[in-house]
Chains A and B, each alone.
Chain A
Amino acid sequence: MKIVVLVKEVPDMESKFKIVGDAKIDESQIAFKMNDFDEYAVEAALQLKEKFGGEVVIVSSGPDRVTKEVRQAFAMGADWGIHVSDPQIDEGDNFVVAGALVKAIESLGGVDLVMTGVQAEDDQAALTGVFVADMLNFSHCTNVVKIEVGADQKSLTINRELEGGLNEVLEMATPAVLTIQSGINQPRYPTLPGIMKAKKKRLDLKKAADLGVGAIGEAGSKTKFHKIFFPVSEHKAEIIQGDAKAAAKTLVDKLRNEAKVI
């Protein structure tokens, strides 16, 4: 099977976020990593490759530093990749980025499956995978928690997660786009030999013009960014001060005598 995995680099959400002006986060204070959901997608793709053969191609859009995450996917076992590197794509919204990823996927030809995380931890939009499916005219399924591929390598049985612990079991055919939910597998850690091999794997660098991307930058976007800000909550917890021991003692006292819940 020829499987493409779309990988995004996101900030570590434990980072201390600072906002510059009202438009950007201060990236100098941020550690970046692979989007968790995409890591599950990489693992799911590798498991299918191990079963059916073929190749796993990583496609990622972003600045130079995203090569770190692409190489991480290589170290896990992915074969090669395309780095879509163009500030004019980075400035665009999900529509622009999806359009660029689609051009990269189309340049490969003969793709059976496109897999990516159900959403990115940073923009929490859950749009790119669905856009890519529509633009490729592939069928799709979101929130995938189980994948079975038939012996013909074309028929798929997919579990789509629903609310309250339910799964919808669907039958569909390749080519398809699957957006992967967390927990579908336990992503493997790269091994030392894997990391050594990853350094030598092929990573093609493509600009918007190389791929013939039509919609770029803010002009190509369908949405307009206004600003970002820290949420202002109407309610704040009563923060109990003191060291762990003192705070725990006060808390237990409050639970007993103030809230009367224990």
Chain B
Amino acid sequence: MARILVIAEQRNGKLSEATLELCKAAKEIASGLGATPAAAVFYKDDSIAKEVANYIPEVFAVVDAKLASYDADLFVQAVKAVVEAQDVKGVLIPHSYDGVDYAGKAALAIGAGIVSNCNKAAVEGGTVVFTRNTYNGKIQEQRSVKTDKFVATFEKGAYDKEAAGGAGSVTAVSVSLTDSRRKIKEVIATMAGSVDISQAKIIVSGGRGTKEKDKYNDVIVNLAKKLGGEYGASRPVVDAGWTDAARQVGQSGKTVVPVLYVAAGISGAIQHVAGMKGSQCIVAINKDPEAPIFNIATYGIVGDLFEVIPAMMEALG
């Protein structure tokens, strides 16, 4: 029977949550297509393959010392080998830093169309129709592939994590890997800083809508101080150098779970939301009523943050 194959992801030997989400996606898509869910694990030993077998009935393991860390060239070779050796209909890859690095190449290597950055898949008359975010999350698009096989990457959180408890098989697939064209020198931390906002109970974050450094300081920093909390930022504010990288909330920054999170002038792109959606109470202040941040906020004010925040300061007394 044809398989829907999840490509597992690990960092430092730790299986990613996204992999478990894709195990759930594979199960759903496979059931719609009359296929079976499976996974492929590329690692230096079979420890992660055995772990993944708790979540999915069939695991293919490519074991090679060269696979201790993710590598684009080697992952593409391994995907191709597994797809050629087994009956694979679809390949699911996390839309993560590693995933976007090789998914497109893997699709070309197996002659498949790819739909990337998906948040949903539905089987309609034997075709998998993928739903994906476009235009900064403001518009959803549906797309399918025209090829026999498909590759799809899914954003984090698109599916719930599959629960452990299965006892899947692990089958070794032998691949003779070439050398990669790139060599990892080291992995470094770039957010070293004196402040750790991940423990704060109250966080006031500013985004692109704060317009400039002085204004960011005026409204965001002052409101944070007034509330006895920390100030944070979305990526554009850090990119522009208005505050430290250590204060960045989101996929590429900190994950925070405060009691109160105020998002001012932040549109609510998925990369930011990934870092703060666990907050107990979320306040969104944005002049764009269509901003996706209002879809996850508890309270929203549609308005100019430079008027709303000073008024909040006054109301706080």
Binding site for B on A (CB under 8 A): 11, 13-14, 16-17, 19, 25, 93, 95, 118-119, 121-127, 130-131, 133-135, 139-143, 145, 157-173, 182-183, 186, 221-231, 233, 235-240, 243-245, 247-249, 251-255, 259, 261-262
Which of chain B's residues have a CB closer than 8 A to the CB of A17?
A: 135, 138-139, 290
Residues of B within 8 A of A (CB-CB), count: 96
B184 interfacial contact with A, CB 8 Å: yes
Complex CA gap A126/B308 in Å reads 36
B168 interfacial contact with A, CB 8 Å: no
Q: Which of B72, B117, B142, B251 sits near A124, CB closer than 8 Å?
A: B117
Could you tell me if B181 and A244 are in contact, using CB atoms closer than 8 angstroms?
no
Which of chain B's residues have a CB closer than 8 A to the CB of A253?
A: 315
Binding site for A on B (CB under 8 A): 11, 72-73, 95-98, 100-105, 107-109, 112-117, 129, 132-147, 181-191, 202, 227, 235-236, 238-241, 245-246, 248, 251-255, 259-260, 267, 280-284, 288, 290, 292, 294-304, 307-309, 311-312, 314-316
Quick one: closest B residue to A145, CB to CB?
Answer: B190
Complex CA gap A16/B289 in Å reads 10
Which of chain B's residues have a CB closer than 8 A to the CB of A221?
A: 113, 146
Could you tell me if B135 and A226 are in contact, using CB atoms closer than 8 angstroms?
no
Complex CA gap A13/B138 in Å reads 8
Could you tell me if B72 and A140 are in contact, using CB atoms closer than 8 angstroms?
yes
Could you tell me if B292 and A231 are in contact, using CB atoms closer than 8 angstroms?
yes
- A97 to B: closest C-beta gap in Å: 12
Complex CA gap A227/B132 in Å reads 11
Which of chain B's residues have a CB closer than 8 A to the CB of A139?
A: 73, 181-182
Complex CA gap A140/B188 in Å reads 20
Which of chain A's residues have a CB closer than 8 A to the CB of B292?
A: 231
Which of chain A's residues have a CB closer than 8 A to the CB of B202?
A: 261-262
Could you tell me if A239 and B300 are in contact, using CB atoms closer than 8 angstroms?
yes
Complex CA gap A253/B311 in Å reads 13
- B236 to A: closest C-beta gap in Å: 7
Which of chain B's residues have a CB closer than 8 A to the CB of A235?
A: 295-296
Q: Which of A19, A134, A182 sits near B236, CB closer than 8 Å?
A: A182
Show 6 A/B contacts (Cβ-Cβ < 8 Å), sorted by A.
A17-B139, A93-B113, A126-B104, A238-B300, A252-B315, A261-B260
Complex CA gap A66/B251 in Å reads 31
Which of chain A's residues have a CB closer than 8 A to the CB of B140?
A: 228-231
Which of chain A's residues have a CB closer than 8 A to the CB of B147?
A: 222
Complex CA gap A235/B301 in Å reads 15
Which of chain A's residues have a CB closer than 8 A to the CB of B186?
A: 168-169
Could you tell me if A238 and B182 are in contact, using CB atoms closer than 8 angstroms?
no
Given contacts A95-B113, A130-B102, contact A248 B139 (CB under 8 A): no
Could you tell me if A171 and B182 are in contact, using CB atoms closer than 8 angstroms?
yes
Could you tell me if A237 and B97 are in contact, using CB atoms closer than 8 angstroms?
no
Complex CA gap A130/B98 in Å reads 12
Q: Taking each of A164, A230, A235, which has the highest tally of chain B beta carbons within 10 Å of its own beta carbon?
A: A164
Could you tell me if A171 and B100 are in contact, using CB atoms closer than 8 angstroms?
no
Which of chain A's residues have a CB closer than 8 A to the CB of B11?
A: 162-163
Given contacts A166-B188, A228-B140, A249-B315, contact A239 B301 (CB under 8 A): yes
Which of chain A's residues have a CB closer than 8 A to the CB of B308?
A: 244, 247-248
- A14 to B: closest C-beta gap in Å: 7
Could you tell me if A142 and B100 are in contact, using CB atoms closer than 8 angstroms?
yes
Which of chain B's residues have a CB closer than 8 A to the CB of A259?
A: 260, 280-281, 298-299
Q: Which of A169, A230, A245, A251 sits near B283, CB closer than 8 Å?
A: A251
Quick one: closest A residue to B99, CB to CB?
Answer: A126
Quick one: closest B residue to A120, CB to CB?
Answer: B134
Which of chain B's residues have a CB closer than 8 A to the CB of A239?
A: 294, 300-302
Quick one: closest B residue to A125, CB to CB?
Answer: B116
Could you tell me if B181 and A222 are in contact, using CB atoms closer than 8 angstroms?
no
- The 9 nearest A-B residue pairs measured at CB: A165-B191, A222-B113, A183-B239, A248-B311, A237-B300, A130-B104, A244-B307, A237-B297, A233-B295
- A118 to B: closest C-beta gap in Å: 8
